[in-house]
Amino acid sequence: MVDVAAIELLGIDKRFGSVHANKNISLSVAKGSIHGIIGENGAGKSTLMSILYGFYQADSGEIRVSGKPVSIRDSQAAIAVGIGMVHQHFMLVENFTVLENLMLGAEGGAFLGRGADAARNELKRLEAEYGLDVDPDAVVEELPVGLQQRVEILKALYRGAEILILDEPTGVLTPSEADHLFKILEQLRDQGKTVLFITHKLREIMAVTDTVSVMRRGEMVATVKTKETSVEELAELMVGRRVLLRVEKQAANPGDVLLSVKNLTVKDGRGVVMVDNVSFDVRAGEITGIAGVAGNGQSELLEAIAGIRKPVSGEIYVNGELLTAANPAKLRDMGLAHIPEDRHHMGLVLPFEENENSMLGYHHDPLYGAGPFLDLEAIRKDAADKIEKYDIRPPDPRLKTANFSGGNQQKIVCAREIERDPKILIIGQPTRGVDIGAIEFIHRRIIEMRDAGKAVLLVSVELDEIRGLSDRVLVMFAGHVVGETAPDADEKTLGLMMAGIAA
């Protein structure tokens, strides 16, 4: 008897105007397997998964679940045929409890108490069966991010999912949390569930998947057994050329202190102290990395240095000058550029065209016009030059920025800030959600900045990135710098420090 695939996609084709996002894609996913899907940003992975989950409709092609053709018009239809999705950015109501989030949209009738009792019993069963322990009465916003992710998985299982799609599931996890997630996925597989695992981290693909499919420029170019391939082969399949997987750099040659932070304390929007009496220096010709799990004060620290958030106390010196009432525009004039960690909310205006975002914050520069009058031809030429230099796809300065993939949006921000030739560059999560080809490109640009004598402050939750790029590493936990290490410190040591445990 031939095993029926959990999912079959046959000839899936999808266009968005002139952009051919999916080109006649066929894919078969075995039941009870962990199937990885990788590809560069803009390769069509998200579009394909959005079609499978009902967010988009294919222009042509067929979807089969357990051998039967299905019509998935929306996410409710996907859930009805046993497909669940855990999104990269969690879809949870933060001030609801775990149980309330589980029930949302599946309350079980008019009598909520009766539905809550049934949901609580089902939650206990799922927790026991899959090792997904979490307090049903805990408020979601008070849970660490690893447990929030468990709630998302429980939500999908509660709704009867036999097929789970996980989109970049480890982006906000520590190494130990990621390892625990992999054990959960393996247990789900062993219980007969099917997992589609979308990531740009090739080491994760090698660690947890049974099979991996590679997409490139809208096409499915390969499907291979994971044990029969390698990181190097997968990288080359993704990009279409050999990719340098290690950051190559010479030893640093640190110069004068260009950025100095002294006894800095910063609160968030709720008045909670997120940065507590932090001090450090960054020198010319040096990359200082800050490692830590998201939410430990790194975001507020960068915002204070960038002039976005006012510190409670402490001092920031740029090129030896004390900042008093600094603002982002003044800091740009002083030679400090900022690549924010949230490109959508702080780095770009998504409805703007690419050429408009390419000059955002620098629109008073004489390059772009005189006085209140903008030189549109000069603006578009400058944008086209950046597009060519940074390989931004599609190469269209008039395209709305929202229509670029995440990796290409990140390149737009990097091009805008780096090409201003700043003295100091502060960067938050430079390659979050970015594919391996773009990672290689962005890393090379950061090293070039250092080698040109710039001071670089790098914040990343990616340990490989911190260790590969940094000349020295500071570790933040609960608003404090808890230690400094060399970049070649082992992952266990850094992981313990990130968890607030002295190594």
Q: State the Cα–Cα distance between residues 40 and 44, nearest whole angstrom.
A: 8
Pairing of strands 60-65, 68-70: antiparallel
For 282, the enclosing helix (H) or strand (E) is strand 273-283
Q: How far apart are CA 112 and CA 110, in angstroms?
A: 6
Residue 249 has φ and ψ, to the nearest 5°, of -155, 155
Predicted confidence pLDDT, tens digits, the chain (503 residues): 457 899 999 999 999 888 899 999 999 999 999 999 998 777 888 889 999 999 999 999 999 999 999 999 998 899 999 999 887 667 788 888 888 888 887 655 544 555 688 888 888 888 888 778 888 888 888 887 778 888 888 888 888 889 999 987 876 676 677 888 888 899 899 989 999 998 877 888 999 999 999 998 899 999 999 999 998 899 889 888 776 667 788 999 999 999 999 999 999 877 889 999 999 999 999 999 999 887 889 989 999 999 999 999 999 999 999 988 768 888 999 999 999 988 888 999 999 999 999 999 998 899 998 878 899 999 999 999 999 999 898 899 999 999 887 778 999 999 999 999 999 999 998 987 677 778 888 999 999 999 999 999 999 988 888 999 999 999 999 999 999 999 988 877 887 888 888 65
Residue 82 contacts residue 65 (beta carbons within 8 Å): yes
The dihedral over CA atoms of 38, 146, 293, 343, expressed in degrees to the nearest 10, equals 50
pLDDT for position 235: 87
Preceding amide of 394 cis, omega within 30: yes
The b-or-e profile of 352-365 (16+ CB within 10 A means b, else e) is ebbbbbbbbbbeee
Distance CA 103, CA 159 (A): 9
183: which 2 tokens?
């054990």
CATH class of the structural domain 246-335+422-503: alpha beta
User: Angle 436-451/406-418 helices, nearest 10 degrees?
Assistant: 10
Name the residue among 342, 303, 331, 299 with its Cα closest to residue 430.
342
Class of domain 7-239: alpha beta
d(CA 323, CA 304) in angstroms, rounded, equals 11
Question: In this structure, which amino acid lies at residue 227?
Answer: K
Reduce the DSSP state of residue 330 to 3 states and report it: helix
Q: How many helices (H) and strands (E) does the chain have?
A: 16, 22
pLDDT of res. 503 = 52
Residue corresponding to tokens 């001030």: 95
The model's pTM: 0.70
What residue spans define the domains of the chain? 7-239, 246-335+422-503, 344-421
What does the pLDDT read at residue 107? 59
How far apart, in whole angstroms, are the C-alpha atoms of residue 345 and residue 195? Answer: 31
Q: Do domains 7-239 and 246-335+422-503 have the same CATH topology?
A: yes
Q: What pLDDT is attached to residue 1?
A: 41
Residue type, 229: T
DSSP letter at 297 equals S
Q: Which residues pair with 286 in a beta bridge?
A: 455
Strand pairing category for 321-322 and 313-318: antiparallel
Distance, CA of 495 to CA of 493 (rounded, Å): 5
CA-wise closest residue to 317 among 362, 261, 273:
261
